[in-house]
Amino acid sequence: MSKLVYFDYCAAILLLILLVSTIFRKMTKGRLNRLFLVMVAVSLIAVGADIWAINLDNMGVGNRTGKYITHVMYLFFHGLVPPLYIVYLVAQTDTWHRLYKSVWMKLLLLFPYGIVTMVMVLNFHFHNLFYLDAKDTYTRGPLFFILYISAVYYIIMGIIYLCKYRQLFSKRRFFALLSLFPLMVVAVVIQYFRPEYVVEMFAQVSALTFISMMVQRPEEIIDTTTGLGKFSAYTADMRRTFQNHKNIQIILINIINYQSLRDMLGYEGIDELLQKVAVLLEGINKSQHSNAELYYLGSGKFRFVIEESFFKRTELTAQTINEALKADFMLNGTEINLVSCVCVAKCPQDIQDVESLLAFGNDLNNQHYNGEVFYAAEIYKPDYYNLMKDINHILERAISEKKFEIYYQPIYSISEKRFNSAEALLRLKDEKYGFISPEIFIPAAEKSGSIHKIGHYVLEEVCRFISSEEFQRLNLDYIEVNLSVVQCMQSNLASEILKLLHQYKVQPSQINLEITETAASYAQKTMMKNLDCLTKAGIQFSLDDFGTGYSNMRRIASMPFHLIKLDKTFTNLEQNPKMRIVLENTIRMIKDMNMKIVAEGIETECLVRQFAELHCEYIQGYYYSRPIPRPEFVTFIEQAMEQG
Ligand code: C2E
Ligand code: MG
Ligand code: MG
């Protein structure tokens, strides 16, 4: 019986394509890729040995040693692929630590292949597996069935393992990983009954090709600039790690001055710089033997993920990275200085979920840079990140249960010696987290879109207050209402505000809308339309937090602001004497443009005096009053009026 070798030739061609494409697609880094590459290489050796063996068999009598060696090689390497595939599944499910720790799992994995190898060794003497008969023909021995039992064993083990971790995979990945098993079963059955059809390797290689196309996809996991794992791979890997309760340590590396470097170097330059940083980090990973998985998440954020058996290396690796990043990088003859923040986080001790890990990683940029390595154990605030995880839910509940409240902070007019206005500030008290700062919930509401409902609520409450009888008694000129940038970009904002004014019979001059400097910097078409329409209707605008952004004078001049609110940061006059000169000239310029000034965040009498001397018209701050609920605010103003 002569065997058909063509299936093996096809398998060999497929394997060569796989090998070359895997290397060219740079899918060689990381445990998963290495394992896949090992499977391809082992399959290639098995196919090579099989082709050789079949050709020798088909030549007929003679060359006994060659036949014997090639058949043993084929059986050995062919039988190695199923256990390797189980190891690959372990890596896919990120349950390596379980295999590593459990003797039972190792035994279960190695036992059948161990038996097969033993029988193979003993076959030299006993010829139980196969032998060459009198005509030098390859003939199966009485224990040949062990190979099939081993194959069936691994097939069942693989299916059970995959099903157990089903929830870790998308449908596409799950079925691609499963494909090896039915293909193997069909091939084994065919080859068992019709040994001349040598299809087992072809089936195995077809499944590997399928997996390569569906699972080993570089565009999904590799960042093309740095060659490191990308953001989606990081989140998927970390999600799996947390689900499997695996211990890891992460070195988070954020290049804090990434934005300015990108502006300075341009897209090509920054890519070159990132490549240099990636090479440096890979070098440190090698020299420190920390065996970490490396990721680049974008915006100058790199991550080193270290497994338990290499925890000893974490500390030194973090220190080495921190020092190495302080050195200058040469780029086209220019010295580039990185400002980077390096932080070690132990998971799950410090951080217990992916969302908090990502948020913490982003917030690292706001850490006060001191050149030292940070530790999440010292700077991570779990309450804050738990709140951030819950924030959308909290906002929805607050809207539906009407839990928001408006507080008012009085604003004092120096020339008129009375409180002439107030700022409406939103407050949210949650049962679980207590008072939540608007600095936290406003940005979250902007992201989720709930700011529109919240903004409407604030405007309506303020209009209701202005139209009330008690407001008439207070002799206030207007109430200032904060507008968020997202609200300004809402096309029906102007009509909505005018409708509310009409509904509550509020004069446009009784409302003053505050826009922050950063919001004003967008100066987008819809926003300008809104501003224009509202200004024409008689509503005045203030520029809030002036001094915190770029403080662009041209923008101030081109937008219809009536008031400029100097940010709290201007109150640190003692700390920097030059600041006073900046302030004096800024105030003069603003006044020359016919705008009035509110000094915000004034906490002391001394500051009131200083800002009065600088001819600021209005003062707002804790010195007079904190933001207070409406009834207290009414009493506060009434008492102030009585005291004259
Ligand atoms: P903002 O508009 O600049 O409001 C002034 C902030 O400074 C308020 O913080 C106020 O409590 C605080 N403040 C006032 N006087 C002093 C002082 O003497 N010392 C210090 N240290 N702080 C003082 P708050 O209420 O936490 O609000 C923070 C920010 O949240 C506001 O800054 C505003 O941008 C935003 N916000 C508040 N309510 C609303 C709202 O209804 N809508 C929108 N879009 N944003 C709001
Ligand atoms: Mg404000
Ligand atoms: Mg402000």
**Residue 502: its pLDDT value, please?**
96
| Average pLDDT score over residue span 504-525 | 88
Residue-level pLDDT at 358: 95
Task: Inform me whether the pLDDT recorded for 523 exceeds 80.
Answer: no
CA 600 to ligand 3 center in whole angstroms: 6
Choose from 126-135, 238-247, 504-513, 541-550 the range with maximum mean pLDDT.
504-513
Span 336-363, mean pLDDT? 94
Residues contacting residue 424 through CB under 8 Å, at least 6 positions apart: 406, 407, 408, 458, 461, 462, 479, 480, 481, 482
Distances (CA, A) of 608 to 32, 68, 570: 65, 99, 12
pLDDT above 70 for 5: yes
* Total Cβ atoms within 10 A of residue 62: 10
DSSP 8-state class, residue 308: G
The Cα–Cα gap between 284 and 236 comes to 25
Q: To the nearest whole number, what is the mean pLDDT of the chain? A: 91
pLDDT at position 122 is 94
Ligand 1: does its nearest atom lie under 6 Å from the Cβ of 458? yes
Query: At a CB cut-off of 8 Å and minimum separation 6, what does 105 contact?
Result: 98, 99
- Report which of 402, 404, 422 is spatially closest to residue 412, judged by C-alpha positions: 422
Average pLDDT over residues 344-373: 92
Tell which one of 427, 482, 607 to mutate to probe ligand 1, the residue whose CB is within 8 A of the most ligand atoms: 482
What percent of the chain has a predicted confidence (pLDDT) above 70? 99
- Residue 274's pLDDT is 95
Mutational pocket test of ligand 1: of 419, 600, 630, the residue with most ligand atoms within 8 Å of the beta carbon: 600
* pLDDT on residue 521: 74
Report the pLDDT value the prediction gives residue 432, as an integer from 0 to 100. Answer: 86
Q: Is the CB of 627 under 6 A from ligand 1?
A: yes
Ligand 1 centroid, distance to 426 Cα (angstroms): 8
Task: Write the pLDDT tens digit of every residue in 319-330.
Answer: 999 999 998 888
Distance 184 CA to ligand 2 centre (A): 68
Residue 356 CA, ligand 1 centroid: distance in Å: 26
Question: Does residue 389 register a pLDDT over 90?
Answer: no
Nearest Cα neighbor of 270 from 348, 332, 187, 363 is 332
Q: What is the pLDDT of residue 133?
A: 87
Label the pairing between strands 478-483 and 434-436: unpaired
Backbone angles phi, psi at 481, to 5 degrees: -120, 130
Mean pLDDT along residues 398-427: 96
Residues 6+ apart with CB under 8 A from 201: 7, 8, 11, 43, 46, 47, 50, 78
Q: Which atom of ligand 1 is nearest to the CA of 439?
A: 30
User: Tell me: the pLDDT tens digits for 429-447?
Assistant: 988 889 999 999 999 999 9
- Strand-pairing partners, residue 543, are 515, 564
Ligand 3 mean position, distance from CA 397 (Å): 27
Q: Tell me how far the alpha carbon of residue 331 lies from the centroid of ligand 3, in angstroms.
A: 41
Query: What is the DSSP-derived secondary structure letter of residue 63?
Result: -
Q: What's residue 551's pLDDT?
A: 67
pLDDT for 97: 78
Residue 95 has pLDDT above 90, yes or no: no
pLDDT above 80 (res 391): yes
Give the pLDDT band of residue 405 (cuts 50, 70, 90).
very high
Closest CA to 227 of 42, 24, 82: 24
The secondary element (H helix, E strand) that includes residue 453 is helix 451-466
Indicate if the pLDDT at residue 171 is higher than 90. no
Q: Is 542 in the pocket of ligand 1 (CB under 6 A)?
A: no
Q: Looking at residues 90-110, what average pLDDT do you find?
A: 86
Q: Lowest-confidence range among 4-8, 292-296, 340-344, 534-538?
A: 4-8
Write down the pLDDT at residue 302.
Answer: 98
Please report, for residues 477, 565, 594, 598, 609, the alpha-carbon distance to residue 591 in angstroms, rounded to integers and kept in the order given: 21, 12, 5, 12, 19
User: 202-258: per-residue pLDDT in tens?
Assistant: 999 999 999 988 887 777 788 888 989 999 999 999 998 998 889 999 999 999 999
pLDDT at residue 525 greater than cutoff 90: no
Q: Give the whole-angstrom CA distance, residue 185 versus residue 195.
A: 15
The proportion of the chain whose per-residue pLDDT surpasses 90, expressed as a percent, equals 68
Among the listed residues 474, 383, 465, 479, the one whose alpha carbon sits nearest the alpha carbon of residue 432: 383
Q: What is the pLDDT of residue 101?
A: 81
Which ligand 1 atom is at minimum distance from the Cα of 455? 42
Task: Give the model's pLDDT for residue 516.
Answer: 87
For residue 285, what are the CA distances in angstroms to 165, 231, 279, 316, 323?
A: 30, 19, 10, 11, 14
pLDDT digits (tens, 9 = 90+) for 6-30: 999 999 999 999 999 888 877 777 7
Query: What average pLDDT does range 353-358 have in this prediction?
Result: 93
- Digit-coded pLDDT (tens) for 121-170: 999 899 999 999 888 888 989 999 999 899 999 999 999 999 998 888 88
Higher pLDDT, 440 or 62: 440
From CA 624, how far away is CA 605, in angstroms rounded? 9
614 neighbors 584 (Cβ within 8 angstroms): yes
Least Cα distance to 179 among 148, 146, 213 occurs for 213
Query: How would residue 120 be classed by pLDDT, with cut points 50, 70 and 90?
Result: very high
CB 94 within 8 A of CB 237: yes
What pTM did the predictor assign?
0.72
Which tens digits make up the pLDDT trace of 68-79?
Answer: 999 999 999 999
Pocket test for ligand 1, best of 395, 425, 479 (most atoms within 8 A of CB): 425
Type of residue at 160 = I
**Per-residue confidence band for 1, with pLDDT thresholds at 50, 70 and 90:** low
